[in-house]
Amino acid sequence: MEVQAIKQRFGIIGNSPLLERAIDIARQVSPTDLTVLISGESGVGKEVFPKIIHQLSARKHGPYIAVNCGAIPEGTIDSELFGHEKGSFTGAHEARKGYFEVVNTGTIFLDEVAELPLSTQVRLLRVLESGEFFKVGSSKVIKTNVRVVAATNLDIPRAINDGRFREDLYYRLNTVPIKVPPLKDRKEDIHLIFRKFASDFAEKYRMPSLQLTHDAVRVLVNYRWQGNIRQLKNITEQISIIEQNRNIDAATLSKYLPDAEYRDLPVLYRSSKGKEEISERDLLYKVLFDMKKDIHDLKQVIGEIMKSDGLSKDIQQNNAQLIKKMYQNIEAANDSIDELDIHSVSEINDDEEPIQESEVVEESLSIQEKEIDLIKRALAKHNGKRKNAAKELGISERTLYRKIKEYELM
């Protein structure tokens, strides 16, 4: 079955190459009995991939069960997975089959597998290696023929280093890894998914579907979506129910997006007025000076090329006109940036003292000097309190402390 047909069958929305690669790996591994480990952030839709693997495998007529390992108390997880004998613990009034016995010849999906206790991890490793396990309170070996697909949103190598996950179990689970991309890595799919959810909720609640303006689409795509598809679905449903106007603009959409700073935009530092939003003027200010510095460096390189004695006369003659034209274009670009710079910097804050044009044009292009100046100003504003200064600058206190030592500002 082709990737496009799989997306249609399982209701997967999106054309991201990363998403299609994950689906293709699931398609290829399905006919085998290899163990699969699915990783990805919370809310990316990892639960659909075990279904793909099961339905496209020879086990599709066998049982399938999904187990959330993080939702089962540690004291009962062994009993849930492997079963128990009557009287094996308090409350065990009768024998019970576990999931690995019930799902024999089928597929078991262990979601949040990194949440398993270490003792349970030992039992799971034995099942994966030999297909054998013991019920709780029993010494009788039980055989099972189960295909295991696991998933996690945690960094398992880090959990191994912390002693919370067995390294041998990780390598046994990770026979075939599938990485499900987060929404921030598949921006081209965000609006498509929103439209699908909006259409579904319009049908569910019997109302017209939501429509986004161009500005609203831009906000939607640039938001970080830390909750991924789950968060996008919830917010779409909220808007569908609450908003009477079905044409949603950027301002309306932004009201439903928590933590507005989680947008996929470059930042310099927070607004000096303490607002959560990043100042566009501050961002433009940094971009302009970065461009001027790059142009300054490029001018030096071209100047050295023009003066170089190491180049042959033929090369110098053939490229002299081209280099001269490049140099002229760079000078023109630099003049244009100076003009933009004057207008942008003079409007940084109405309540601050305006910067004179001559100061901007002649100001040093050193980013380091700008950084030192910003740090000094922030420290002075907050009477030397590094924690408040770091918050003002939009960096961590540790980073600020390191920069203070680096620039010898102590």
- Distance, in Å, from the CA atom of 236 to the CA atom of 242, rounded to the nearest integer, reads 10
Q: Are residues 190 and 177 in the same domain?
A: no
Residues 43 and 151 in one domain: yes
**Of the candidates 206, 238, 254, which is a domain's last residue?**
254
Tell me the longest C-alpha to C-alpha distance in the chain. Answer: 97
Asked if residue 93 is part of any domain, the answer here is yes
Cα dist from 7 to 25, 132, 150, 265, whole Å: 13, 36, 21, 31
Contacts of 252 (CB under 8 A, 6+ apart): 216, 239, 243, 245
Reported for 29-32, long-range contacts at CB under 8 A and 24+ positions apart, including other chains, are 29/53, 29/176, 29/178, 30/54, 30/55, 30/56, 30/57, 31/56, 31/57, 31/58, 32/57
Q: Which of 254, 275, 310 is the last residue of a domain?
A: 254
On whether both 29 and 166 belong to a single domain, the answer is yes
pLDDT tens per residue, the chain (410 residues)?
A: 799 999 999 999 999 999 999 999 999 999 999 999 999 999 999 999 999 999 999 999 999 999 999 999 988 999 999 999 998 888 888 999 999 999 999 999 999 999 999 999 999 999 999 999 999 999 999 999 999 999 999 999 999 999 999 999 999 999 999 999 999 999 999 999 999 999 999 999 999 999 999 999 999 999 999 999 999 999 999 999 999 999 999 999 999 998 654 555 544 444 444 444 445 555 565 666 666 666 666 666 566 555 554 444 554 555 555 555 555 565 566 555 555 544 544 444 444 444 444 344 444 446 677 778 888 888 888 888 888 888 888 788 778 877 887 777 76
Whether 354 is in a domain gets the answer: no
207 and 174 within one domain:
no
3-state helix, strand, coil in the chain (%, to 5): 55, 10, 35
| The pair of three-digit structure tokens given for residue 345, joined into one six-digit string | 């910097």
Full domain range(s) for residue 246: 184-254
* 176 shares a domain with 57: yes
Q: Are residues 8 and 35 in the same domain?
A: yes
Claim: this prediction has a pTM higher than 0.75: no
Tell which residue, 115, 140, 113, has the closest CA to residue 128.
Answer: 113
**Rounded to whole angstroms, how far apart are CA atoms 283 and 139?**
67
* Chosen domain end from 254, 277, 298: 254
Residue 387, domain member (yes or no):
no
Domain count, the chain: 2
| Closest CA relative to residue 243, chosen from 301, 283, 202 | 202
Please indicate, yes or no, whether residues 190 and 171 belong to a single structural domain of this protein.
Answer: no
pLDDT at 93: 86
Would 217 be classed as within a structural domain? Answer: yes
Q: Answer whether 256's CB lies under 8 Å from 240's CB.
A: no
Domain CATH for 138 = 3.40.50.300
Is residue 301 within 8 A of residue 262, CB to CB? The reply is: no
DSSP, residue by residue, 277-327: SPPHHHHHHHHHHHHHHHHHHHHHHHHHHHH-SSS-HHHHHHHHHHHHHHH
- CATH number, residue 214: 1.10.8.60
Asked whether residue 98 is assigned to any structural domain, the reply reads: yes
3-state DSSP of 229-291: HHHHHHHHHHHHHHCCCCEECHHHHHCCCCCCCCECCCCCCCCCCCCCCCCHHHHHHHHHHHH
Using alpha carbons, select from 261, 267, 279, 281 the residue that is nearest to residue 344: 281
Task: Assess if residue 298 is contained within a domain.
Answer: no
| CA end-to-end distance (rounded Å), the chain | 65
One domain for residues 226 and 144: no
Whether residue 78 is found in the same domain as residue 90: yes
Q: Is residue 230 part of a domain?
A: yes
Sign of CA dihedral 371, 376, 379, 380: negative
155 plus 246 within the same structural domain: no
Same domain, 56 and 144: yes
Residue 150 lies in a domain: yes
Q: Which two tokens stand for residue 91?
A: 């409350």
**One domain for residues 125 and 242:** no
